[in-house]
Structure 1
Amino acid sequence: MQDSHLYEYAVIRLVPKVEREEFINVGVGIFSKKTGFINMRYLLNKEKLSVICPDCDLEEIERNLDSFRRICIGQKNAGPIAQMDAASRFRWLTATRSSVIQTSLTHPGFSKDLEQTLNCLFEEMVL
């Protein structure tokens, strides 16, 4: 029987107007130190975003979210942060910042299947 793995996750939020503190959950990132697993899922709901911030540049936001994903998975051409170890990438991505893309505080959990847990968290927090 497979052991449960301790993991951390954070919700990825789109904050179109930082000063208003309104946000839309657009993704989830997950990391397990023991297994080295790190991944994320995101979906930009353009209809919802157009209501909250009709003047947002959707293409730029999409590019930024894709950069976030590429750093998360450690893609070779995603810059120096993407080349750091998984724990350092996760900490960098979940650091508190005042920008359009932010994350929640990290939350712990246990999982026997980290990919399935990511899918469940994504469905619950984003969809």
Structure 2
Amino acid sequence: MTRIPYEYAVIQAVPRIERGELINVGVLLYCQRQDFLAARTHLDETRLLTLDPAADVAAVRAALASWEATCQGGGASAGMKLGERFRWLAAPRSTVLRAGPVHMGLTVDPAAELERLVELLVR
């Protein structure tokens, strides 16, 4: 089987930006050759509240859901191509959720690779 390139970034929650502490809460994966873009998220509430006991867990969950919806073309991303959506989500930002550095890899199955990365880097 031929492996194809993909790009991914870890989605990070930074509940108190002034402290710079973060936890991994998901993975964003884009594979141009297979027209694949998806985000898988997993929020460990205990870890989040350890960093900031006053964190708004519901708001973080809603923001994570919006990342997943953006991958599917929801909201303001409706007219964007997949690569544009990936770059938009992976762009640097100073909010509670941000993407870490973009990395590359090779895979035969982007969806399976996304699940593998979530298990490895988030859960």
Relative to the length of structure 1, the TM-score reads 0.93
Which residues of structure 2 form unaligned runs of 5+?
none
User: Which moved further from structure 2: 57-66 or 78-87?
Assistant: 78-87
Partner of 1:70: 69
**Count of aligned pairs:** 123
Q: Take 1:80 and 1:123, find their aligned partners in 2: how far apart are those partners?
A: 29
Distance in 1, Cα, partners of 2:75 & 2:23: 27
- Determine whether 1:88 maps to 2:84: yes
Alignment of 1:105 with 2:101, yes or no, is yes
Give runs of aligned pairs for residues 42-81 of structure 1, distance below 5 A: 42-74=41-73, 78-81=74-77
Over the aligned positions, Cα root-mean-square deviation in angstroms equals: 1.0
Alignment deviations for residues 63-82 of structure 1 (CA, whole Å, 9 cap, x no partner)? 111011100122xxx32224
What SS does structure 2 have at the residue aligned with 1:80?
A: helix
Q: Unmatched 5+ residue regions in structure 1? A: none
Q: Percent identity?
A: 37
The TM-score, its normalising length taken from structure 2, stands at: 0.96
After superposition, the Cα gap between the structure-2 partners of 1:82 and 1:19, relative to the gap in structure 1 and judged at 3 Å, is: farther
Which position in structure 1 is the counterpart of 2:111?
A: 115
Asked if the contact 2:69/2:75 (under 8 Å) is kept, the reply is no
Cα distance in 2 for residues equivalent to 1:62 and 1:82 = 21
Q: Does the CA-based 8 Å contact 1:70-1:82 persist in structure 2?
A: no
CA-to-aligned-CA distance 1:13-54 (integer Å, 9 cap, x gap): 000011111000000010011111111110111111111111
Contact 1:96–1:102 (8 Å) recurs in 2: yes
Once residues 116 and 61 of structure 1 are traced to their aligned partners in structure 2, the CA distance between those partners, rounded to angstroms, is 25
Runs of 4+ with deviation above 4 angstroms: none
Separation in structure 2 between the aligned mates of residue 80 and residue 11 of structure 1, nearest angstrom: 22
Please state how far the C-alpha of 1:4 moved relative to its aligned partner. Answer: 1.1
Q: Is the aligned partner of 1:13 residue 2:12?
A: yes
